[in-house]
Structure 1
Amino acid sequence: MNGKEVFRFAVRSVPQSIEYALEKAGLVSSSVDWLLLHQANQRIIDAVATRLEFPQEKVISNLANYGNTSAASIPLALDEAVRSGKVKPGHTIATAGFGADLTWGSAIIRWG
């Protein structure tokens, strides 16, 4: 894979996908408590958060601990955030996954 092109793709497509999901959910980014992205690359996570004007202290990342765990990265990071007490019932989480063949998808979750 061409790393630079993947970076450009993710930094362009992921924020658009999250904004679209927020619009469909009738929410604005300021109502989101946590941003949780596929844990592929910290530079991508930081760049997407910056594009969305999302404060770094509200970005869930465990990439430094485990590296890229592929399709398990969002569920693992969410589980850790819940167990540590970061994510609480009623919190809104904006998630986005991206990967194989430059596919992507987002979901807005209200934690129960």
Structure 2
Amino acid sequence: MLVPHQANLRISQFIQHKFKLTDDQVYNNIQKYGNTTAASIPIALTEAWEKGKIKEGDTVVLAAFGSGFTWASAIIKW
């Protein structure tokens, strides 16, 4: 599961397309909340888990970016 920073849906969809991921492999909630800045990944991660989209043993990739060239990512074995 890819949980990207929820800054822009088009960016998330572009990354999804580049990595050939299905809709079930990427979690987006920007349509519901908008850009919640630094809280976007924790909110999306929690929501995906609560909806059963992330299960024990899954690999979860978190990816964030900010103004300029700032970015960070993490891979978690759930």
Quickly name the TM-score band, shorter chain normalised: over 0.9
2:40 corresponds in structure 1 to 73
Match of 1:57 among 1, 24, 27: 24
- RMSD between aligned residues: 0.9
Instruction: Tell me the TM-score normalised to structure 1 length.
Output: 0.66
The 5 Å alignment of 1:81-96 reads: 81-96=48-63
Q: Deviations over 1:27-67 (max 9, x none)?
A: xxxxxxx1110000000000011111111221101110000
**Residues in 2 aligned to 1:106 and 1:52: alpha-carbon distance in whole angstroms:** 15
Unaligned runs of 5+ in 2: none
**Residues in 2 aligned to 1:82 and 1:49: alpha-carbon distance in whole angstroms:** 19
Unaligned runs of 5+ in 1: 1-33
* Structure with the greater alpha carbon radius of gyration: 1
Instruction: Tell me the TM-score normalised to structure 2 length.
Output: 0.93
Structure with a larger share of its residues in helix: 1
Instruction: Please tell me whether the aligned partners of residues 46 and 56 of structure 1 are also in contact (alpha carbons under 8 angstroms).
Output: no
Q: Structure 1 segments of 4 or more deviating over 2 A?
A: none
1:97 corresponds in structure 2 to 64
Matched, 1:42 2:19: no
Kindly tell me the number of residue pairs found equivalent between the two proteins.
Answer: 78
